[in-house]
Amino acid sequence: MDGIFLKVLNMSISASWLILAVILLRFLLKKAPKWAAVLLWGIVAWRLTVPFSFESALSLIPSAETFNAHNIQFETPAISSGIPAVNSAVNPVLGEIFAPDPMESVNPLYVWTGIASVIWIAGIAAMLLYAAVSYARVRRRVAESAPYEDNIFLCDHVKSPFILGMVRPKIYLPSGISDASREPVIAHERAHLARRDHWWKPAGFLILAVHWFNPLCWAAYILLCRDIELACDEKVVRRMDLAEKKHYSTALLECSTGRRPVSVCPLAFGEVGVKERVKHVLNYKKPAFGVIAAAVAACAMVTVCFATDPNGTVHSMRAASQENLPETADLREKYPEYFELGTFKGLEVYVWQMAENDYRFGLMYGTDREKTPEEKLALKGASAEEMARILSAYDIEDKDIFVIPWQNPISSYMVTEEMAKDPEYISRIRAMLGLDGVSAPSVRETVSVPGNDIPADDSGRISAEEAADAFGIPIVLPKNSNWIADAEYCLVDGNNLRITYHDLIADADCTLSVSKNADLDLPPMDYDEALNETWEGTTAGGQYITVSVRHERNHEKMTLAVWEYKEYQFAIMGEDDSNVVIPKAALNVIENLD
Amino acid sequence: MADIQLGAVEARFADIIWASEPVTSSELIKLAAAELSWKRTTTYTVLRRLCDKGLFQNNNGVVTSLLSRREFYARHSRKYVDETFSGSLPAFLAAFTSEEKLTAGEIAEIHELIDRAGE
């Protein structure tokens, strides 16, 4: 609903320029036939109702979209009126009053938009209610009528002639109308029917009901009603001589007077003053060809300049430039959730690979926290082309789009840690999405460094090979990157090695400690003896090794696996719901020993 | 007797009654439906109004006149009056003119405008 309201608001604002132009042109085209003015109002109506428009380099409309739904919902509120002075005056104030509060999910202008759209709907309802009630009253009044001829009826209870009905319109005349006035009046009403004014006027009112908040639309409707009457008069008197014109003018005057004045209804505004009409009728001459040509040219000019949108204002410049990509509308249907994201903290593009050259992309709003596995698993995998198109729908700078590699568990294709952190890998993927190929890509840490007792500096950090050299034995964690991630080898001292890693299956940070010729310095813990287990492993050399597995009494998840090999003591500690992942990691380490 | 005034449509309805009285109200409804395409409720409404004006009477569904057609037109000119009603036409109807308040001076001015045209 808010979206429709904003669309109507933007249409109303851009049509206002057209209305101003038409009002100006009406003055310039005083000599032109009035049907030209009615035609111009038709262009206004088209602009007010049809949600799409053509772009034109000649467009004089400053902006096709003053209020952008996306800006209002997520960004610092701002308008783009197309007039720099207006923007620079309004936007700082908007930004100050409706500054987004980081603690709130939406910015305040969005809330106000919601309230405004409710008021808008209420206004439409009031307008339609007025129409329905007054229509019903007239219907009741004309029930008591007598047929005169054809579709013409006499009625005691009406003051001036009018047409009622859309499909089978009937002309109602006041029964007291003088014989002299009757024929001119019937001619006028028949001209209305021939011009289909009994359709255009209600149609205009319907459009006004939707745009009731726009004062210029009220002005346009009032002027439309006047122009319709004048155009209708022109049609009637076109072939009349002076005597007939005088006769017609007298009928006009009689129908406007001679009756008691009624209370002035604020909505009976549509008609034009009888004096103006009499003058118009008496002075009417067939317009010269030159005048008609000028009027047609003026209509065409107004259409091109004010009924079209300025080039390249549709939502985003990027969208317009990527025309050969899949239609955004289809994408909105396929990935609706990717089009409704807040960009306050940037956008996060998660990328995973199903095969070597099969990249999939998921999109999420930016946050400071790491996304949960559930959130990531819910992502639909779009192609690079599709994601590029989706991103182009956002008004966001490339540097605020973060590309984050992710090992999707459903994929057997491994994205290793090295690949994920390789700037070249990231920039290649950013290039696929049409993002900055050159600027330094920003990669967010996907996993925080576990353990608090790790030295803050990197002085002790070594590679697996260096660890093997320093200790004389290979110390190897499982190679499956769906299982073990972020392994970091750290030499605490000459006899102590600490390897931290993230166990993806247990979703836990674990520590493998190895000590040579010394006892392991294990933290004091209260183990539940009843849960003690032993596991058997075999080294590459065929040696059996017993792994003792213990669980913390008050924190059953906390698991410790301890074993000895030659002069080395091993321990893996971490949270393990399954009770098997840490022991299995231990057996894997053992398998790789000599 | 107070002055009775009829609108042109009311007069047509009164003519139907004068032509066929005494007439039952159900017969009258049929006649009005045939001649004026009126609905039952419209006929009842107008009949009640004319009875209130003292032109007709309705005794147990039989309508008769209190004044004959000749008596009525002897006493009243054929000049019809406009019924007064409050409110004006809805803005969206295509009407001939609007009701507007013109002063006598303005009316005279427009009359002069028409008379002088073409001179």
Tens digit of each residue's pLDDT (9 = 90 or more) over A553-584: 777 678 889 998 888 899 998 888 777 888 88
Question: For residue A118, how many other CB atoms are within 10 A of its CB?
Answer: 13
The encoded tokens of residue B117 equal 């045209």
What is the predicted pLDDT for the residue at A524? 72
Last residue of a domain, one of A384, A416, A432: A432
| CA atoms of A123 and A217, how far apart (whole Å) | 14
pLDDT band at A216 (very low <50, low <70, confident <90, very high): very high
A290 vs A309: CA distance, rounded Å: 30
- pLDDT tens digits, A171-191: 888 877 777 778 888 888 888
**Contact criterion met (CB < 8 Å) for A268 and B106:** no
Alpha-carbon gap: B90 to the closest alpha carbon of chain A (Å): 6
Q: Are residues A136 and A269 in the same domain?
A: yes
User: Which residues does chain B have within 8 Å of residue A148's beta carbon, measured at their own beta carbons?
Assistant: none
Whether A256 sits inside 8 A of B99 (CB atoms) is yes
What span, in angstroms and rounded, lies between the C-alpha atoms of B107 and A258? 10
What confidence score (pLDDT) does residue A447 get? 37
Residue B77, min C-alpha distance to chain A (Å): 13
The nearest CA of chain B is from the CA of A225 a distance in Å of 8
Q: Is residue A77 part of a domain?
A: yes
- A168 pLDDT above the threshold of 60: yes
A581 with A525, same domain?
yes
Predicted local confidence at residue A208, as pLDDT: 92
A230 inside 8 A of chain B by CB = no
A474 and A404, same domain (yes or no): no
Q: What is the largest CA-CA distance in chain A?
A: 128
Cα angle, residue A571 at apex, residues A567 and A575 outer, rounded to 5° = 175
What pLDDT score was predicted for residue A304? 79
Mean pLDDT in chain A? 77
The residue among B16, B80, B81, B92 with the most chain A CBs within 10 A of its CB, best to mutate, is B92
Q: Are B30 and B40 in contact (CB under 8 A)?
A: no
DSSP string, A469-500: HHHSS-------TTTEEEEEEEEEETTEEEEE
Residue A113 scores a pLDDT above 90: no
> Are A164 and B93 inside 8 Å of each other by CB?
yes
Residue A289: predicted pLDDT? 80
Specify the pLDDT at position A361: 92
CATH assignment of the domain containing A560: 3.40.1000
| DSSP output for A553-583 | SS-TTEEEEEEEETTEEEEEEEE-SSSSHHH
Taking CB atoms and an 8 Å limit, are B81 and A246 in contact across chains?
no
A260 touches chain B (CB under 8 A): yes
| Residue A108 or residue A237, greater confidence | A237
pLDDT at residue A262, as a whole number: 32
Task: Compute the average pLDDT of residues A417-446.
Answer: 67
**Burial tier of B21 (Cβ tally within 10 Å: 0-12, 13-18, 19+):** middle
Burial class, A256, CB count within 10 angstroms (exposed 0-12 / middle 13-18 / buried 19+): buried
CA distance A228 to B60: 52
Q: CA neighbours within 13 Å on the CB side: how many for A318? A: 16
What residues 171-190 of chain A have any CB closer than 8 A to a CB of chain B? 174-176, 185, 188-189
Would you call A154 and B117 a contact, using CB atoms and an 8 Å cutoff? Answer: no
Q: Which helix (H) or strand (E) holds A314?
A: none
Instruction: Please indicate, yes or no, whether residues A375 and A471 belong to a single structural domain of this protein.
Output: no
Does residue A232 share a domain with residue A104?
yes
pLDDT reading at A125 higher than 90: yes
Report residue A318's pLDDT band, with 50, 70 and 90 as the boundaries: very low
Q: Over 90: is that where the pLDDT of A444 sits?
A: no
Residues 6+ apart with CB under 8 A from A374: none
pLDDT band at A212 (very low <50, low <70, confident <90, very high): very high
Name the band, by pLDDT with cuts 50, 70 and 90, for residue A496: confident
Tell me: pLDDT of A124 over 90: yes
Put simply, whether A154 touches B (Cβ < 8 Å) is yes
Is the pLDDT reported for residue A244 higher than 60? yes
Tell me what pLDDT residue A77 has. Answer: 57
* pLDDT tens digits, A389-407: 888 888 788 888 888 888 8
Q: Does residue A470 share a domain with residue A502?
A: yes
Taking 3-state DSSP, the helix, strand and coil percentages for chain A, each rounded to the nearest 5, stand at 45, 20, 40
Residue A77 CA from chain centroid, whole number: 14
Position A182 scores a pLDDT of 82
| Chain A residue nearest residue B32, CA to CA | A146
CB atoms within 10 A of CB B3: 7
Tokens 């890998």, residue located: A425
The mean per-residue pLDDT over the stretch A426-432 comes to 84
CB contact under 8 A, A138 and B90: yes
Percent of chain B at pLDDT above 90? 0
DSSP classification of residue A434: T
Q: Residue A449 falls within a domain, yes or no?
A: no
Q: Between 3.40.190.10, 1.10.10.10, 3.40.50.2300, 3.40.50.740, what CATH number should domain B8-75 receive?
A: 1.10.10.10
pLDDT of A123 higher than 90: yes
Q: How many inter-chain contacts (A to B, CB under 8 Å) are there? A: 171
**Residues A176, B90: C-beta atoms closer than 8 Å:** no
The shortest CB-CB distance from B99 to any of A189, A204, A259 is to A259
The domain tally of chain A equals 3
Measured between CA atoms, the residue of chain B closest to residue A218 is B91
Average predicted confidence (pLDDT) for chain B: 75
Tell which of B53, B96, B101 to mutate to test the A interface (max A CBs under 10 Å): B96
B108 touches chain A (CB under 8 A): no
| Pure H helices in A78-178 | 84-97, 108-142
Per-residue pLDDT, averaged over A505-516, amounts to 86
Neighbours of A253 (CB within 10 A): 23
Q: Which residue of B has its CA nearest to A269?
A: B91
- Percentage of chain A surpassing pLDDT 90? 6
Query: Which residue in chain B has the smallest CA separation from A259?
Result: B82
Residue of B nearest to A157 (CA): B83
pLDDT at B92 > cutoff 60: no
Can you give the pLDDT at residue A554?
Answer: 75
Asked if the C-beta of A155 comes within 8 angstroms of chain B's C-beta atoms, the answer is: yes
- Both A103 and A237 in a single domain? yes
- Quick one: closest CA in A to B113, which residue? A279
User: Residue A418 pLDDT more than 80?
Assistant: no
> Where are chain B's structural domains?
8-75
Same domain, A587 and A550: yes
Comparing CB atoms, the residue among B80, B87, B94 nearest residue A163 is B94
Same domain, A502 and A380: no
> ipTM surpassing 0.85, yes or no?
no
Q: Residue B38: list chain A partners with CB under 8 A.
A: 143-144
Q: Do A138 and B89 touch (CB under 8 A)?
A: yes
Contact A263, B86 (CB under 8 A): yes
Mean pLDDT computed over A233-255: 82
Q: At A217, is the pLDDT very low, low, confident or very high (cuts 50, 70, 90)?
A: very high
pLDDT of residue A26: 84
Greatest Cα pair distance, chain B, in angstroms, is: 66
pLDDT at A582: 87
CA nearest to B117 within chain A: A282
Q: Please give the pLDDT value at position A121.
A: 93
> What are the chain A neighbours of B91 within 8 Å (beta carbons)?
205, 225, 267-270
Spell out which residues of chain B touch residue A262, defining contact as CB-CB under 8 Å: 86-88, 99
pLDDT at residue A70, as a whole number:
55
**Cβ–Cβ < 8 Å for A189, A228:** no
The answer on A465 and A428 residing in a single domain is no
Which residues, numbered 58 to 97 in chain B, qualify as contacts with chain A under a Cβ-Cβ cut-off of 8 Å?
80-97
Q: Please tell me which residue of chain A has the smallest CA distance to B96.
A: A161
Q: Are A293 and B117 in contact (CB under 8 A)?
A: no
User: What are the pLDDT digits (tens) for A518-552?
Assistant: 777 777 777 888 788 888 888 888 888 989 888 88
Least trusted range by pLDDT, from A57-66, A365-374, B42-51:
A57-66
**Statement: residue B37 has pLDDT above 90:** no
Contact B94 A198 (CB under 8 A): yes
| Residue numbers of A between 515 and 534 with CB closer than 8 Å to B | none
CB A134 within 8 A of CB A141: no
How close B70 comes to chain A (CA, Å)?
A: 21
Q: Closest chain A residue to B84 measured between Cα atoms?
A: A157
Query: Residue A171: inside a domain, yes or no?
Result: no
Closest Cβ–Cβ partner in A156, A192, A257 for B7: A156
Helix (H, G, I), strand (E, B) or coil at A286: coil
> Using only C-alpha atoms, what is the Rg of chain B?
20
Say yes or no: A488 and A553 in one domain.
yes
In this structure, are A423 and A483 located in the same domain? no
Q: Does B5 touch chain A (CB under 8 A)?
A: no
Q: How many CB atoms lie within 10 A of CB B88?
A: 23
pLDDT at A258: 44
- Do residues A481 and A415 lie in contact, with contact meaning Cβ atoms separated by under 8 Å? yes
Is residue A261 predicted with pLDDT exceeding 50? no
Residue of B35, B50, B99, B107 to mutate when probing chain A, most A C-beta within 10 A: B99
pLDDT of B95 > 60? The answer is no
The domain of A407 spans: 325-432
Lowest-confidence range among A312-316, A378-382, B11-15?
A312-316
Chain A residues inside the 8 Å CB shell of B9 = 144-146, 154-156, 175
